[in-house]
């Protein structure tokens, strides 16, 4: 099934430079909402800065692609020091394509990390990069999102990699 992610993790913190290197990944396209921060929360996850700097130290390039608007995405991206594409139109390839050009890496060296099957994972598959799913930080409250999450259920992986602390 084309939506099923290659790998699934508890959170971004379970994805390490070592795992990425083993997969031949040199660049990550990052989702924001419910992946790096709560939905529309300007505050990144605690210790996200450490995670980002360890990626950068290991030569992993990072670009944010969000379907959210620039006023949400731009200050957040600046705060964590990562370039961004807003209005990314996921699952269409356009935002991923712009991000890949910013990273100057071939598709086979790029993965995406996100929390949604029908935007992040489907988009990655359509564009041809490796999809890596994370569990959403918190459940969304809107009816629209609850329906979306229900629709994701048949496509969710059975196992998630979670690192012991
Ligand atoms: Mg998201």
CA of 134 to the centre of ligand 1 (A): 9
The SS3 call for residue 118 is helix
Buried-state track 10-27, b at ≥16 Cβ within 10 A, e below 16: ebbbbbbbebbeeeebbb
135 CA to centre of ligand 1 in angstroms: 10
Distance 22 CA to ligand 1 centre (A): 25
Is pLDDT above 90 for 5? no
C-alpha 52 to ligand 1 mean position (Å): 18
Cα 35 to averaged position of ligand 1 atoms, centre (Å): 6
Distance separating alpha carbons of residues 132 and 134, to the nearest angstrom: 7
pLDDT of the residue at 2: 56
The pTM for the full model equals: 0.94
> Ligand 1: distance of its center to the CA of 59 in Å?
25
Domains of the chain by range and CATH? 7-155 (3.40.50.1000)
Indicate whether 1 pLDDT > 60: no
Q: How far is the CA of 67 from the centre of ligand 1 (A)?
A: 8
- Distance (Å) from CA 114 to ligand 1 centroid: 6
Lowest mean pLDDT among 88-97, 115-124, 149-158: 149-158
- Compute, in angstroms, the gap from residue 133 CA to the centroid of ligand 1: 10
The 10s digit of each residue's pLDDT in 52-96 is: 999 999 999 999 999 999 999 999 999 999 999 999 999 999 999
User: Diameter of the chain by CA atoms?
Assistant: 41
Tell how far the Cα of 32 is from the centroid of ligand 1, in angstroms: 6
DSSP string covering 71-98: HHHHHHHHHHT--EESS--TTSTHHHHH
End-to-end CA distance of the chain: 33
Averaged pLDDT for residues 102-127: 96
**Centre of ligand 1 from the C-alpha of residue 79, in Å:** 18
Q: Do residues 161 and 8 lie in contact, with contact meaning Cβ atoms separated by under 8 Å?
A: yes
């Amino acid at each position: 099934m084309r939506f099923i992610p290659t790998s699934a993790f508890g959170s971004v913190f379970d994805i390490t430079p070592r795992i990425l290197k083993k997969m031949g990944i040199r660049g990550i396209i990052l989702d924001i909402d419910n992946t790096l921060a709560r939905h529309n929360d300007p505050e990144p996850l605690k210790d996200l800065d450490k995670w980002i700097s360890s990626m950068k130290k290991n030569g992993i390039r990072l670009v944010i692609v969000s379907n959210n608007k620039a006023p949400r995405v731009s200050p957040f991206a600046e705060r964590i020091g990562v370039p961004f594409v807003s209005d990314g139109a996921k699952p269409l390839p356009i935002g991923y394509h712009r991000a890949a050009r910013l990273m100057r890496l071939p598709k086979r060296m790029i993965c995406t990390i996100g929390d949604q099957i029908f935007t992040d994972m489907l988009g990655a598959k359509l564009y041809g990069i490796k999809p890596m799913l994370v569990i959403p930080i918190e459940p969304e409250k809107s009816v629209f999102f609850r329906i979306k999450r229900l629709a994701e259920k048949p496509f969710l992986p059975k196992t998630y990699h979670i690192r012991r602390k």
